[in-house]
Amino acid sequence: MSLRLGDTAPDFEQESTEGRIRFHEWLGDSWGVLFSHPADFTPVCTTELGLTAKLKEAFAQRNVKAIALSVDPVDSHHEWIKDIEETQGCAVNFPIIADADRKVSELYDMIHPNADSSLTVRSLFVIDPNKKIRLIITYPASTGRNFNEVLRVIDSLQMTDEHKVATPGNWERGDDVVIVPSLQDEEEIRQRFPKGYKKVKSYLRMTPDPTANWSGN
């Protein structure tokens, strides 16, 4: 099964380090970040799980829940957590799914035979409160994930869901944004963007970030 942006994130029920999880029920009205790891006790993933734990408050400010996955069993996960907490200096404060039967890995197309026939690749999914997949990123085993980029994309998704804008390349919270080309009514533009806008081209109109006073980290 190949998942695409806009697809409904497959629901599942699986054991985790925080008990049995029914995914859609667990997610509730929150956004979710589901990310997979090839196996427990892997060095790059150990650092990633530590980073995720340290971002708990930043995720919470965005109404985001994080959940990890590895194909090893729960007992192994709990032993790995001890190493993560020792080496990364933080408590693991989110569940790690035990996907020993590969059920979730197969639902989310995390097994790439040309990379490895049994272990999951390092995929990350951002899922919105409607259970729709909004971002898919798959990393090679040698490259650690950039969680600042994950937060940046979530900021963009949440803002562009609320306002008729898009975010330009390398956009960061507080930077100018693009008014979507479909919005052409000048009165509506004035109402939506009281700070005004700059017309660079007829199709490229820049306006200040409408959420510039947001205080998230």
**What SS3 state is found at 53?**
helix
Phi, psi of 116 (to 5 degrees): -165, 135
Phi, psi of 211 (to 5 degrees): -115, 30
Give the pair of three-digit tokens for residue 61. Answer: 């400010």
Beta strands in the chain (DSSP E): 13-14, 21-22, 31-37, 64-70, 96-98, 122-127, 133-139, 165-166, 177-179, 198-201, 204-207
**Do 67 and 26 form a contact (C-beta atoms < 8 A)?**
yes
Choosing from 9, 27, 33, 45, the catalytic residue is: 45
Strands 31-37, 122-127: pairing is antiparallel
Name the one residue in this structure whose structure tokens are 């035979």.
113
Q: Is 90 a catalytic residue?
A: no
Q: How many CB atoms lie within 10 A of CB 195?
A: 10
- What amino acid positions are annotated as catalytic residues? 45
